[in-house]
Amino acid sequence: MKCLYENTAGRLIYRSILTTVAINAVIWSFLGFKPVMLYFTNWSVWFAAIMTFITYAGTIMSKAKGNEAILDNKAFRLLKFCAEVMIFATFVVSAFVLPDKLWTAGFWTPGSTFKHFLLPILYIGDGILCDKRNSYKVHFIFAALAAPVIYWTAVICRFLSYRNSIGGAIPEDQWDQYYPYGFTNIDNGHSLTFLILLLAGIAVGLAITGTVFYLLNKRKIKD
């Protein structure tokens, strides 16, 4: 039996399931905490979902035309890899850092299950099981940091700008409009320096994650 990365029909079945999960994750991303655009989770879900839909369409075309090279595009592979690293961060933080962790009942609400567990696991699995061997490049590891850096820079600039406009700390009743997660709240016991150092540590973690995905892609799997 061929591995999934060599089996178009097998990839199509897997990606049909992944696409169904991605649709549900996107729906639940708009039903969660507001404002929806404030959260890293939602951005990673949207990014992974877009790449899932493109991948699924390409797989259907590959099956119909018998052309395995349709998805063999450098820009596509790079973006798919970047989404993989980003959605992995969502899984790790949601499963092990936030209050409703993997081993608590709150984690397994429908929205959290689709966004924080099923989509990340299946999307990462798609990269490991379905992507062509040796199709990742070393620079993908560093390129994958771009989206998280842009997101966190935008979040920090937004709340710093607002703090500057009101001349001090953001009122507690407005925290949920500017601070997506407790560790970002510099008005509740955390300093900006602490936040920047923490995010630098997360960036290192993402680089390590990208390195692992890169090495897994280079691994030769025997049938």
Q: For residues 65 and 183, which has the higher predicted lDDT (pLDDT)?
A: 183
Q: Whole-angstrom Cα distance, residue 57 to residue 64?
A: 11
First-last CA distance in the chain: 7
Q: Give the torsion sign (CA, 84, 87, 92, 93).
A: positive
Mean of the per-residue pLDDT values of the chain: 90
Q: How many C-beta neighbours within 10 Å does residue 221 have?
A: 12
Range of lowest pLDDT (64-73, 74-83, 139-148, 191-200): 64-73
* pLDDT tens for each residue of 114-160: 999 999 999 999 999 998 888 999 999 999 999 999 999 999 999 99
Q: pLDDT tens, 180-220?
A: 988 899 998 788 999 999 999 999 999 999 999 999 998 66
pLDDT score for 223: 43
> Tokens 């607002």 — which residue?
162
Judge if pTM exceeds 0.95.
no
The arithmetic mean of pLDDT across residues 152-179, rounded, is 93
